[in-house]
């Protein structure tokens, strides 16, 4: 198994053997047959980097913190070598209008193909005014971004079920992604925060097979 990804991972101190072991772990975690680990490694090594847009809504940044601790591969490896993380407010260098422009450009250039990741719940109270980015409510931004997404990953309990913000008396009218979006495939990855390797595992499955893992 060769390729630019393997060379880059090697430069980061991740050996081919470690990468294969990681893929085998992912395959067993997803109840795939043992041979799938090798197939995943080969597909990921050759994968075209899909665009990923990550929207942080009513959240505590814990989900992002958690994925940055994903040990193998490192988040940096995932970002730069396996996916094209085109928008993630917490991690991206751009801010303000520049960040908004990056999101719109990624949505336009990858219409129908990008993976949308959401962490945090979505407040519906006061017409969504409890949480806004660039003067627009979370619910508006979610509906707009979901329209061109191939699939959505609801990262963490807040995005999956409403989480802590939805706890009684739910002052902001918080809801989950699936309460709002009904016409796209959605993977809920609950946990507060979710297990890092589960988050990267779902991304790896998408990179390998071009589809989301089977859901329960
Ligand atoms: S699921 Fe937990 S860690 Fe993630 S945004 Fe919600 S409160 Fe924070």
Tokens of 193: 């925060």
**Nearest residue by C-alpha to atom 4 in ligand 1:** 63
pLDDT in tens, 59-68: 999 998 888 8
Tokens of 33: 């047959």
**pLDDT reported for residue 151:** 95
Q: Is the pLDDT of residue 138 over 90?
A: yes
**pLDDT reported for residue 8:** 66
Among the atoms of ligand 1, which is closest to the Cα of residue 120? 5
**Nearest residue by C-alpha to atom 2 in ligand 1:** 192
**pLDDT reported for residue 83:** 83
Q: Is the pLDDT of residue 26 over 90?
A: no
Q: Is the pLDDT of residue 210 over 90?
A: no
If one compares 192 and 36, the residue with the highest pLDDT of the two is 192
Q: How far does the centroid of ligand 1 lie from the alpha carbon of residue 146, in Å?
A: 21
**pLDDT reported for residue 160:** 98
Local confidence band at 100 (pLDDT 50, 70, 90 cut-offs): very high
Q: How far does the centroid of ligand 1 lie from the alpha carbon of residue 16, in Å?
A: 33
Cα separation, 45 vs 43, in Å, equals 5
Q: Is the pLDDT of residue 3 over 70?
A: no
**pLDDT reported for residue 198:** 82
**Nearest residue by C-alpha to atom 5 in ligand 1:** 59
% the chain with pLDDT above 90: 50
Q: Residues lining ligand 1, judged by CB closer than 6 Å?
A: 59-60, 62-63, 119-120, 156-158, 163-164, 192-193
- Residue 177 host element (H or E): helix 177-180
Q: Is the pLDDT of residue 2 over 70?
A: no
pLDDT in tens, 174-206: 999 999 999 999 999 999 999 887 887 888 788
Domain ranges of the chain: 49-194
For the segment 81-109, the average pLDDT, to the nearest whole number, is 89
Asked if 156 contacts 191 with a C-beta cutoff of 8 angstroms, the reply is yes
Cα separation, 13 vs 45, in Å, equals 16
Q: Which fold has domain 49-194?
A: Rossmann fold (3.40.50)
Cα separation, 3 vs 8, in Å, equals 9
**Nearest residue by C-alpha to atom 6 in ligand 1:** 158
If one compares 177 and 94, the residue with the highest pLDDT of the two is 177
Residue 42 buriedness (CB in 10 A; 0-12 / 13-18 / 19+): middle
């Amino acid at each position: 198994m060769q390729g630019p990804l393997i060379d880059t991972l090697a430069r980061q101190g991740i050996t081919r053997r470690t990468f294969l072991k990681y893929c085998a772990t992912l395959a067993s975690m997803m109840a795939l047959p043992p041979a799938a680990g090798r197939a995943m490694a080969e597909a990921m090594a050759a994968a075209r980097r899909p665009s990923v847009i990550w929207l942080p809504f009513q959240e505590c940044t814990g989900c992002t913190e958690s994925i940055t601790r994903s040990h193998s591969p490192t988040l940096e490896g995932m970002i730069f070598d396996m996916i094209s993380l085109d928008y993630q407010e917490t991690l991206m260098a751009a801010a303000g209008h520049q960040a908004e422009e990056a999101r719109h450009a990624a949505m336009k250039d990858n219409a129908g193909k990008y993976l949308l990741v959401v962490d945090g719940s979505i407040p519906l109270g006061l017409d969504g005014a409890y949480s806004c980015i660039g003067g627009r409510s979370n619910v508006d931004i979610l509906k707009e971004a979901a329209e061109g997404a191939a699939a959505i990953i609801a990262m963490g309990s807040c995005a999956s079920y409403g989480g802590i913000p939805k706890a009684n008396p739910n002052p902001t009218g918080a809801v989950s992604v699936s309460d709002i979006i009904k016409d796209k495939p959605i993977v809920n990855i609950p946990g507060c925060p979710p297990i890092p390797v589960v988050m990267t595992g779902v991304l790896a499955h998408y990179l390998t097979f071009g589809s989301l893992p089977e859901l329960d």
